[in-house]
Amino acid sequence: MKPLVIVKLGGSVVTRKNEPFTPNTPVIEQVSKEVSELLRDYSLILVHGGGSYGHVVASEYRIAEGYLQPSQLIGLSRVKLRMNELTQLILASLASHSVPAVPVTPVSCLTCSSGRIESFFTEPLRMMLSLGLVPLIPGDIAMDSSEKRFTIVSGDQLSSFLAVRLGAVKLVYGTDVDGVFTGDPRLDPNASLIPRLRRSMLSGLTATLRAGDVTGGIYRKIEEGLYAAEKGVKVMIGNLTRPDALSLMITDESSIECTILEAG
């Protein structure tokens, strides 16, 4: 079978995060085109974040905090409704570029405990990959066996978990900046890109969390990525809003600015 690469399409890649329920259509189309070309040499799993679709509703109903009161339950439906809309938009774009993508809904095949994946039935994914299909997986709500009773399982956690479980050779976290910086590059003109990042360097990292991100922002992405890196997966964080960035990070990483997460 072809080498497996898992790509996390961050919410800042597939949506306009400051405009509620607005897809970033040109970037979705560009990524779909690149995926169609990469399939000649790689098996791919695509995971996408919620961006201005899922995070808005999940924050309103405090879904990440778990079960607090019955009025939250309709929030689960509304999160699913919005995430399904985004998944369908991405699916339509992939199909237009002849990518045989199949949506996979995490709430139906995994459970969590205190917000962490505890059980994941991955056999359908293995069968899809063996056929040459491309699983398309959103961050999702999930049932939780702890007192939380339900939670949100982020695309970042899903990507890291599956990269390790399925033996991916590479995990790409796509964002709208070139990688991890010493500060927030949107606010700090002196912030510089960190080309290689290890766990021992985290104490000095001062990147600012983006307001409204219910799944933990850049710090959670780094933590999840380091878990996979320490299990032997090559993990990269880079800017998928740049043309051909996905292709370069997978096939020629030395030619593009990004952050590589390393064990140690």
Amino acid 264: pLDDT: 74
- Report which of residues 237 and 263 the model is more confident about: 237
Amino acid 67: pLDDT: 98
Q: Is the pLDDT of residue 234 over 50?
A: yes
Mean pLDDT of 129-136: 98
Where does the pLDDT of residue 214 fall: very low under 50, low under 70, confident under 90, or very high at 90 and above? Answer: very low
Share of the chain above pLDDT 90, in %: 82
Q: Is the pLDDT of residue 107 over 60?
A: yes
What are the tokens at 206?
């001062």
Amino acid 207: pLDDT: 47
- Rounded distance between C-alpha atoms, residue 31 and residue 240, angstroms: 8
Q: Is the pLDDT of residue 203 over 80?
A: no
What's CA 137's distance to the chain center, in Å? 9
**pLDDT averaged over the chain?**
93
pLDDT in tens, 54-100: 988 999 999 999 999 999 999 999 999 999 999 999 999 999 999 99
Q: Which residues contact 194 (CB under 8 A, 6 or more apart)?
A: 179, 180, 181, 182, 201, 205, 259
Q: Is the pLDDT of residue 243 over 70?
A: yes
Q: Is the pLDDT of residue 172 over 50?
A: yes
Amino acid 216: pLDDT: 52
What are the tokens at 109?
């095949």
Domains and CATH numbers, the chain: 4-262 (3.40.1160.10)
